[in-house]
Amino acid sequence: MLVYVICYFSLWKGIEMSGKVVWFTAIFPYVVLFILLIRGVTLPGAEKGIAYYLSPNIEMLKKPSVWQDAATQVFFSLGPGFGVLMAYSSYNEFHNNVYFDALLTSTINCCTSFLSGFVIFSVLGYMSCQSGRPIHEVAQEGPGLVFVVYPEALATMPGATIWSIIFFLMLLTLGLDSSFGGSEAIITGLSDEFPIIKRNREVFVALLFILYLLIGMVMCTKGGMLIMEWLIVYGTTWGLLIAVFCEAMVISFIYGIDRFTEDIREMLGFTPGWYWRICWTVGAPIFLLLMIMSSFINYMPLQYQDYIYPTKANVLGIVFALSSVSAIPIVGLYTWYKQEGNTCSDKLHRALTPYNYKNRRRSAGLQRDILSSGNLHASDIML
- pLDDT given at position 356: 60
**Contact in structure between 89 and 182 (CB atoms under 8 Å):** no
Tell whether 346 is in a known binding site: no
- pLDDT given at position 365: 47
With a cut of 70, which residues of the chain have pLDDT below it?
Answer: 140-144, 355-383
3-state secondary structure of 307: strand
pTM over 0.75, yes/no: yes
CA distances in angstroms from 79 to 106, 366, 375, listed in the order given: 11, 29, 28
Chain length of the chain:
383
List the beta bridge partners of residue 304.
307
Tell whether 326 is in a known binding site: no
**Contact in structure between 363 and 381 (CB atoms under 8 Å):** yes
- pLDDT given at position 360: 52
Query: Which amino acid does the sequence have at 228?
Result: M
Residue 183: name the closest of 144, 145, 211 by CA.
211
- pLDDT given at position 357: 54
What is the spatial distance between Cα 11 and Cα 233, in angstroms, rounded to a whole number? 28
DSSP codes joined into one string, 86-124: HHHHTTS-TT--HHHHHHHHHHHHHHHHHHHHHHHHHHH
Residue 191 buriedness (CB in 10 A; 0-12 / 13-18 / 19+): buried
Tell whether 178 is in a known binding site: yes
- pLDDT given at position 358: 46
What is the spatial distance between Cα 185 and Cα 181, in angstroms, rounded to a whole number? 6
- pLDDT given at position 370: 46
Task: Name the strand (E) or helix (H) holding 308.
Answer: strand 307-308
48 Cβ contact list (under 8 Å, min separation 6):
125, 128, 129, 135
Residue 62 buriedness (CB in 10 A; 0-12 / 13-18 / 19+): exposed
- Spacing of C-alpha 262 from chain mean position: 27
b/e per residue 164-181 (b: at least 16 CB within 10 A): eebbeebebbbebbebbb
- pLDDT given at position 338: 85
- pLDDT given at position 362: 47
Tell whether 383 is in a known binding site: no
Tell whether 177 is in a known binding site: yes
